[in-house]
Structure 1
Amino acid sequence: TQHNARATAQISLVSYDEQCILNLYVKPECEVRSYLSPLTGLSKEMLDQHGMSLDQAMAILRSHLPKHAILVGQNIRKDVEWLQLEEGKDFESVVDLAGITILGLVWNDQFSSFTYFGLDHTATCWLGQANSGAPHNAVTDAIKSMQIFKLYLSVQNDQKRVEELQKLLLATPLAPSFAKQHPTYEGCCMGNRKTCTCGAPFFS
């Protein structure tokens, strides 16, 4: 299965003060090759028991999402695309943590280029929340994103502190991603650029 062949299975919405507003599970409408359970924490049994149709989930999400909301997250535009939300209609705008230079992108003198850091690494370095190897969860990932965003707001005008945080990102060893540890899992290509076997395009 190609690394782009994915379906929405969990939708979360948290507030600025990190309170969970929604945690919805979506029952897949197509055949599932793998639930990637070690990565997602999801299973057929969970979605069969707690899942709803994507249309139902989106109706609930839109009823709780303020029109003036600013969506914050790592690669949040990809989430918006998956959920087919419309900027200016369903919400006001987005803040993509991956696109903020002092957060997701840091200049690396060693390679004379920007280095991209994912949510887990940034949370490990800045929040002291080391990835224990537990599966991802949309709610906890959203809360981490909000915590990182608020930290950014508090330091963005403090150049010394910004440089300290950037150095910490660069100096801390990266934990191997699931895709690096498992180039394929249960027949599904995980989209590691160096070991991809499915030949599907990369969009980021």
Structure 2
Amino acid sequence: MNKIPTIVDATRKHNNVEVERKRIRAIRNSDVLIQVTHDSEKSSSNKSSSNQLCQILSIDVGCVATGYSHLDRAPCCVAIVNDRCEIIFNSLIKPDKPVVSDLLPFSGVRTAELWGAPSFDEVIEKVHSFFTPTTLIVGQSIMSDIEWMKLEQGVHYNSLIELGDEFTTFDLKYGTHETYVLLNIDLHAMGGHVAKNDAKASIKLYNEYLKDKDQSKLGQAQNALLKAPTKIPLFRQFSGIYEGVCLSAFNRGYCRCGQPLINELHKLTNEKKRRNSNDRKEEALSTSIHKKMKVLNEKNQS
């Protein structure tokens, strides 16, 4: 709009008709400019919105043992990695219970490192700040990490990609077979299962084989996994027990404590959610029928 007076003033030496024509032309051009600018802003806004919709994150949580069953765990570290493989958050967590074992080969953390670490409540507040209702979360056995960090669907994320399901993984927890065969990365040789390394590996697998939804590439990856010799999972190397602590939360054959497996607990949780959902639907239907019957009875009485 600032350009309009300049155009009009430049024509003052001409007659009044020419001035008026110039003024009208300037206003029209200005309107077009405003519309183009507005459209550009809308486009920019849409792109920003689209980027927000496409936020892809991987989160990985490491745990120490607070007891001797495979369910006695407390988070000791957490890392979040974005779709560019950048570590955007990485923190230790001070457990709120005494530590029986730091499970060093599995957590990558020593107990002494946790003494001055922030509390669980401090860390979880920061973790939640990275997630939105439109976030896509990628990871290995991702439900465990989501439950540890109390992430809720519709609040902190929209959907999940479980890499184990996509690649038909051999190692249900860590995905070391996929990482080693497809990325040539040995997570065992990187100081244990460090959360940030596991999260980065998940994003790399997603970017390379799942992001473009190329079924032929995914099929080639699955064939390569089937043909490659499998490494012995870490928990089997310790025969399912480390410093007296049961390690086998995903494999009944190696479980030493007799507690339910993680996938069994997830199944029970999902069944409970379905039952609660069905109960709510039945209750809503019953209420609706009751209201309709009441209206019909009132009409019949009148």
Instruction: Report the TM-score when normalising by structure 2.
Output: 0.59
Identify unmatched segments of 5+ residues in structure 2. 1-67, 264-302
Identify unmatched segments of 5+ residues in structure 1. 106-114
Letter of the 2:105 counterpart = P
Q: Distance in 2 between matches of 1:116 and 1:2?
A: 20
Residues 129 and 116 of structure 1, relative CA distance in 2, 3 Å threshold: closer
In the alignment, structure 1 residue 193 sits paired with structure 2 residue 252: yes
Letter of the 1:42 counterpart = V
Q: Distance in 2 between matches of 1:36 and 1:116?
A: 18
Letter of the 2:180 counterpart = T
Checking the alignment, whether the CA contact within 8 Å between 2:80 and 2:199 is kept in structure 1 is yes
Letter of the 2:258 counterpart = G
Checking the alignment, whether the CA contact within 8 Å between 1:73 and 1:146 is kept in structure 2 is yes
Q: How does 1:98-109 map to 2 (within 5 A)?
A: 98-100=164-166, 103-105=167-169
SS of alignment partner, residue 32 of structure 1: coil
Counterpart of 1:173 in structure 2 is 229
Residues 116 and 130 of structure 1, relative CA distance in 2, 3 Å threshold: closer
Counterpart of 1:109 in structure 2 is none
Letter of the 1:16 counterpart = D
Residues 17 and 157 of structure 1, relative CA distance in 2, 3 Å threshold: same
User: Identity of counterpart residues, as a percentage?
Assistant: 28
Letter of the 1:77 counterpart = M
Checking the alignment, whether the CA contact within 8 Å between 2:133 and 2:155 is kept in structure 1 is yes
Counterpart of 1:127 in structure 2 is 183
Counterpart of 1:55 in structure 2 is 121
Q: How does 1:133-172 map to 2 (within 5 A)?
A: 133=189, 134-153=191-210, 156-159=213-216, 161-172=217-228
User: Which of structures 1 and 2 has the larger relative contact order (alpha carbons within 8 angstroms, sep 6+)?
Assistant: 1
Q: Deviations over 1:172-191 (max 9, x none)?
A: 11111121011211110111
Q: State the Cα RMSD in Å.
A: 1.9
Query: How many residues are matched?
Result: 191
Checking the alignment, whether the CA contact within 8 Å between 1:189 and 1:198 is kept in structure 2 is yes
1:76 aligned residue (133, 142, 158): 142
Q: Distance in 1 between matches of 2:83 and 2:168?
A: 20
Q: Distance in 1 between matches of 2:97 and 2:171?
A: 33
2:113 aligned residue (46, 49, 53): 46
SS of alignment partner, residue 24 of structure 1: strand
How many angstroms does 1:116 deviate by? 6.1
Letter of the 2:181 counterpart = C
Higher Cα Rg, which structure? 2
In the alignment, structure 1 residue 28 sits paired with structure 2 residue 102: no
Counterpart of 1:110 in structure 2 is none
Q: Deviations over 1:49-89 (max 9, x none)?
A: 3x111110011111222332111101112211122111101
Instruction: Report the TM-score when normalising by structure 1.
Output: 0.85
Q: Distance in 1 between matches of 2:105 and 2:144?
A: 22
How many angstroms does 1:155 deviate by? 6.3
